Amino acid sequence: MKVYQTEQIRNIVLIGNSSSGKTTIGEAMLFEGGTITRKGDVGNKNTVSDYSDIEQNNGCSIFSSLLQTEYLDKKINILDTPGFDDFNNAIFSSFKVADMAVMSINAQNGIEVGTQIQSRYVENMAKPLTLVINQLDHDKANFEQTVEGIKSFFGNKATLVQFPVATGAGFNSLIDVLKMKMLKYSGDSGKAELLDIPAEHIAQAEELKNKLIEAAAENEESLMEKFFDTGTLEEAEIARGIKLGIAKRSLYPIFCTSAKKNYGIARLMEFIGTSCPSPIDVTSPKTIEGNEIKIDPKAPLVLFVFKTSIEQHIGEINYFKVISGTLTENTDVVNNFNNTKERISQLLVVAGKTRNKIEKICTGDIGATVKLKNTKFNHTLALANNDVQIEPIHFSNPRYRTAIKAQSENDDEKLGEALNRMHIEDPTILIEYSKELKQIIISGQGEYHLNILKWHLDNIYKIATEFVAPKIPYRETITKSAQADYRHKKQSGGAGQFGEVHIVVEPYTEGMPNPTKYKFGTKEINISVRGKEEVELAWGGKLIYLNCIVGGSIDARFLPAILKGIMEKMEEGPLTGSYARDIRVAVYDGKMHPVDSNEISFRLAGRNAFKEAFKNAGPRILEPIYDVEVWVPSEKMGDVMSDLQTRRAIVQGMSSEKGFEVIKAKVPLAEMSKYSTALSSITSGRAIYTMKYAEYSQVPGELQTQLLKEYEAQSKDEE
């Protein structure tokens, strides 16, 4: 394959609602460019893009696919992405290296939920956008209504470049207002006959041409001045204004296609090559420090790995973009993420599962390589002594969690390995073995997302698994001060055990002063703090351990043992066995035996004294609270609010944005089980939400009583 220079390269990401025809558009582009000689079909399960078993079984994209083709001396790298938001990891990683988004809109359905969700991603990532109204050959295609919806949603940025002469079964001609010609198609070759515009469409074409010229002129002051003076622009000036407008995101051109029949695809590709941005025309990527890296073929080599996949018989395949410099085979680089050396021995250009070798890859181009030892997605590779790191891809927080276990204990190790491999391929799958909950917790973007994971485990890795309800990581704390003492004494013939500990426990808050006196009824305890240890707990919160021993009643060498005993009980709280947090413990007195006192005696004494004091200190169970943001269509607002109220949500605020109502609320994690499924059902799939851990908060009294009873019953069952 020919080696293309930076200005000849176009990197596009295909996005759109599921069934809008993204994969078919990609397939038609490969056919037009000569990458393939025969078009596949999603229904026939033979497209270049959706080549995995699970995608063919489900009839939709689940992973992103890298495709490439050539057209009019331009190389077009195409990243075909899933339409379901459960697989948005593929969209985020593709956006990282694409220079423009091409959004497919189904002419039957217009603006759909996927369109709305993905337009937010386009906005957040500041990517140029071209819109394609697809499936105009369908009987239910409604061009006017679709355009009206586009204009309503995207505003005046969306500007028609083409319109169909007719839609439905009779769709075979487009009026192109840039060329001011009619493109007439026949058969499925994709070749168009260039004709004069019929008289009945001239007025509409001229009106749209004027709007397009005005939109182009707005992107440069000199063009605007000429437009005001003459009322028009030259062809080259229009092209320059359009290119500037697309790069600046002030212009979203609208094209028309039937990808299935190959109508309009060649013209779209021509436009991408001539008017859409190359890698040097868009905002430069940033480093982790926030500095821009110039897209420069003459600069030292820097690569960014945006995706890692694992395939049978091949192993790991790393997909990368050349940020600067030129990459050749057998180049030695350093992985600046982990400071390891790598050799890039093979360079591949990719079209689905077809990978062909190439001698070099230039700045701005996308390729793949194999047999790297320590490199994964989000890693930066560079020449030695260049420690630059590209800002990583930011993925969505998980929205759905469940516990998983192998049906056979013999498969536990295999399950762990398989889950880790799947996380490498899909970073939005998070895996945690919770020592606290004694469960493997997997988190993802939705129920569909994790069902696909389970399919892979069952069918690819051959591990029989089952989902079980995930436990909630409750915490325990106290609400008032309490005192306790405990004597551990044991005599069994030989050396005995003896240790006595007197402690006070109290709730800890940041910045509270050291204690000087405690009062319990008529009893006063004077305190003199001799030492302080602050323990940052791995599960959140703190334990403050105060040494208040005077007169040597407990030798200093036994104080660490007392702390160890307290920590044992912090790791298994007295109420429900959950972790305890935010507690201050003052050890102020005790007794030793000259022969029988040892570390184990004081560890047990400290443990039991803490347990007794904890139960008398107004113990409370805490639950994790999440910040939840729900984007919902206005007409479904009431239903969503009612559902949130049943989940003990505390609404923090509401606002409106781009046709959505945005609800911000704090919701207990215990109430978010299967929320993604419920929200989809309530809103017919038109709402989205995010959730992020916020804090721990006390559970209501009736819930605490219920949890205590459940723990007591469970403890009896285990005895």
Last residue of a domain, one of 557, 592, 618: 618
Q: How many CB atoms lie within 10 A of CB 505?
A: 24
438 within domain boundaries:
yes
Examine the domain organization and report whether 360 and 427 are in the same domain: no
425 within domain boundaries:
yes
| pLDDT given for residue 356 in this prediction | 92
Examine the domain organization and report whether 39 and 112 are in the same domain: yes
Q: What residue has token string 């960014």?
A: 304
Examine the domain organization and report whether 628 and 610 are in the same domain: no
The encoded tokens of residue 315 equal 């192993």
292 within domain boundaries:
no
* Residue 316 scores a pLDDT above 80: yes
Q: What stretches of 38-181 show up as alpha helix (H) in DSSP? A: 53-58, 88-97, 113-124, 143-154
CB distance 314 to 370 below 8 Å? yes
CATH number of residue 673's parent domain: 3.30.70.240
Report the distance separating Cα 542 and Cα 253, nearest Å.
Answer: 56
Examine the domain organization and report whether 605 and 646 are in the same domain: no
Number of domain units in the chain:
5
pLDDT tens by residue, 503-557: 999 999 999 999 999 999 889 999 999 999 999 999 999 999 999 998 889 999 9
| pLDDT given for residue 493 in this prediction | 66
Examine the domain organization and report whether 12 and 56 are in the same domain: yes
Report the distance separating Cα 350 and Cα 355, nearest Å.
Answer: 5
Residues whose CB falls within 8 Å of the CB of residue 242, separated by 6 or more in sequence, listed in order: 178, 212, 215, 216, 219, 251, 253, 275
pLDDT tens by residue, 143-167: 999 999 999 999 999 999 999 999 9
Cα 40 to Cα 140, 260, 263, 485, 621, distances in angstroms:
24, 10, 16, 78, 58
**Domain of residue 502, residue span:** 476-618
Q: What residue has token string 């036994």?
A: 558
Examine the domain organization and report whether 355 and 483 are in the same domain: no
Cα 575 to Cα 439, 474, 717, distances in angstroms:
20, 11, 16
231 within domain boundaries:
no
Examine the domain organization and report whether 17 and 58 are in the same domain: yes
Report the distance separating Cα 590 and Cα 608, nearest Å.
Answer: 13
Examine the domain organization and report whether 484 and 378 are in the same domain: no
217 within domain boundaries:
no
Report the distance separating Cα 443 and Cα 450, nearest Å.
Answer: 8
User: In which element (H, E) is residue 403 found?
Assistant: strand 400-406
CATH number of residue 436's parent domain: 3.30.70.870
Examine the domain organization and report whether 603 and 631 are in the same domain: no
CB distance 628 to 641 below 8 Å? no
CATH number of residue 323's parent domain: 2.40.30.10
CB distance 344 to 369 below 8 Å? yes
Of the listed ranges 124-128, 374-378, 571-575, 656-660, the least confidently predicted one is 656-660
Task: Give the Cα-Cα-Cα angle 529, 530, 536 (nearest 5 degrees).
Answer: 80
Report the distance separating Cα 368 and Cα 375, nearest Å.
Answer: 12
Q: How many CB atoms lie within 10 A of CB 585?
A: 24
Of the listed ranges 124-128, 221-225, 453-457, 489-493, the least confidently predicted one is 489-493
Report the distance separating Cα 152 and Cα 165, nearest Å.
Answer: 23
Examine the domain organization and report whether 497 and 593 are in the same domain: yes
223 within domain boundaries:
no
Last residue of a domain, one of 585, 618, 651: 618
* Residue 213 scores a pLDDT above 90: yes
Last residue of a domain, one of 354, 382, 410: 382
* Residue 719 scores a pLDDT above 60: no
Examine the domain organization and report whether 505 and 549 are in the same domain: yes
Residue 103 class from Cβ within 10 Å (0-12 exposed, 13-18 middle, 19+ buried)? buried
Q: How many CB atoms lie within 10 A of CB 468?
A: 12
Residue that wins the pLDDT comparison between 486 and 314: 486
209 within domain boundaries:
no
pLDDT tens by residue, 94-120: 999 999 999 999 999 999 888 988 998
Residue 216 class from Cβ within 10 Å (0-12 exposed, 13-18 middle, 19+ buried)? buried
232 within domain boundaries:
no
Helix/strand/coil for 401: strand
Report the distance separating Cα 180 and Cα 592, nearest Å.
Answer: 99
Examine the domain organization and report whether 135 and 180 are in the same domain: yes
